[in-house]
Homo-oligomer: A and B are copies of this chain.
Amino acid sequence: MPKINAERLLSDLRRFAQFGAYRTGVHRPTFSQEDMDSRHWLAQQYDAVGLQAHIDGVGNVFGMPRTERRSLLIGSHAESQNYAGWLDGALGVIYGLEIARTFAGTQDRAGLPIALVAWADEEGHYVPMLGSRSYVGDIDEAEIDRAVNVDHGLPLRDALRAAGLAGVPRSLAEPGRHIGYLEAHIEQGDVLEASRKRIGVVTSIVGIWQYSIVFHGLQNHAGTTRMAIRRDAGLAAAKLATTIADCFPKAAGPRTVWTTGRITLEPGAPNIIPGKAEMLFQFRDSETLVLERLDALLRTLVEEVAIKIGCRAEIERTETGKPWHMDPAFQQAIENAAARQTPGAHMRMPSGASHDAQVVARKIRAAMLFVPSIGGISHYWTENTDDADLILGCQVLADAAEMILRGESR
């Protein structure tokens, strides 16, 4: 098995974190100067390792092998959330680079067809998963025309022009071009840490079902309206959130998660009974059956609460994410590699977060490897992972890649 260069890996990760350095993390939003600088740096590294580098029309950086043979694509996304962690997507991008270098540096592996990618805008500063969706042919020009930055409203077209990408074609995955896709990522949760494991073999990426729930009550004076006749939309929203907390555990799967991220009361004045309340609610699970069961339960609870508080309820599902199962043979390759490198310290687990791998998996066999997040912290500048785990994760992914390329995983 190929031995990766641990010093070079850590040094590259640290070098990459200088693009948009913020405290111990990074602030590298998609198509910012720092992000584009990091992408051009990556293209140089891809070239230097003997790959054919290019940046496509939505900012994806590719390093393609100079061969017609089907290649194994390795990578993740290069940009960060605002003022967030240094690893997140960068980890998987630099792992790919290190694996390519390792393979290129040993005679008998130099010919193994590795392709590298750094996707653009998985984090959704403009469009979540923009780069991977573009590569699998799941985005059209009209959607790109419409997209604007969620923070400052700059149209995506203007951002692409400023990044020098206007008129550059978008690369598309031709059928049969890739053997598969491997992505490493920090776990972003504390399951590995709490389980005292060092490698997560991702079994599936959860589906996210998201809802806008609106209660319409009766706006009125908070001083002169008797309690008995109130139809308080805010109370209905609060009641729904607590009823969900009471009832979901019985219907949920062992790893289901659910979150009320926003509650907005109108008009929102201290002396007015809210006439309208809106809740943003979501749940995630890797089993469609569980998602469907929770959807039905949610609709029942919304109706019950509305009747109880005397409000009219509207519920709209705004997102119906399909759970994606990772390729079984690739999972096995990662597990076998982990078992060799760190016996007993690996586990299979679903991913509660979204990743480019779930988009790529629609067209290409795909799998993911997780390394632990210290304290489960993610999307925050204090995010971190032990150096020893960073090194181990890359070694396991390299071993798995070789197994897959040599056909040992079939």
- A interface residues with partner B (beta carbon < 8 Å): 187-191, 194, 206, 208, 210, 219-227, 229, 232, 234-235, 237-239, 241-242, 245, 249, 255-263, 265, 268-274, 280-282, 284, 351-354, 373, 376-380
Contact = CB atoms under 8 A, between A and B. Distances in A.
A234 B281 CA distance: 12
A304 B140 CA distance: 52
Contacts of A221: 188-189, 352-353, 378-379
A241 to B, nearest CB: 4
B225 A189 contact: yes
A363 to B, nearest CB: 23
A249 B261 contact: no
Among A191, A221, A234, A353: residue with most chain B CB under 10 A: A221
A268 B262 CA distance: 5
Contacts of A268: 261-262
A351 B104 CA distance: 84
B261 A263 contact: no
Contact of A225 (B210, B235, B257, B260): B257
A301 to B, nearest CB: 13
B238 A242 contact: yes
Given A191-B226, A271-B261, A242 B249 contact: no
5 contacts: A187-B224, A237-B263, A260-B265, A261-B271, A270-B281
A410 to B, nearest CB: 31
Contact of A259 (B245, B263, B271, B378): B271
B189 A226 contact: yes
A238 B260 contact: yes
A318 B265 CA distance: 20
Given A238-B237, A265-B263, A257 B227 contact: yes
Given A189-B224, A220-B377, A224-B352, 16 more contacts: A187-B224, A189-B223, A191-B226, A194-B229, A210-B270, A219-B380, A220-B378, A224-B373, A226-B257, A229-B376, A234-B260, A235-B242, A238-B241, A238-B242, A260-B265, A261-B273
Contacts of A232: 259-260
Nearest to A353: B223
Contacts of A229: 190, 194, 376
Contacts of A237: 238, 263
Nearest to A277: B263
Contact of A263 (B189, B208, B227, B238): B238
Contacts of A257: 222-223, 225-227
B235 A376 contact: no
List the 7 closest pairs (A to B, CB-CB), nearest first: A189-B224, A223-B352, A238-B241, A222-B259, A238-B238, A188-B224, A261-B270
A354 B223 contact: yes
Contacts of A242: 235, 238-239, 242
A268 B226 CA distance: 32
A194 B227 CA distance: 13
Contacts of A255: 226
Nearest to A377: B220
A239 to B, nearest CB: 5
A284 B229 CA distance: 16
Contacts of A222: 257, 259, 261, 282, 284
Given A235-B245, A282-B270, A265 B265 contact: no
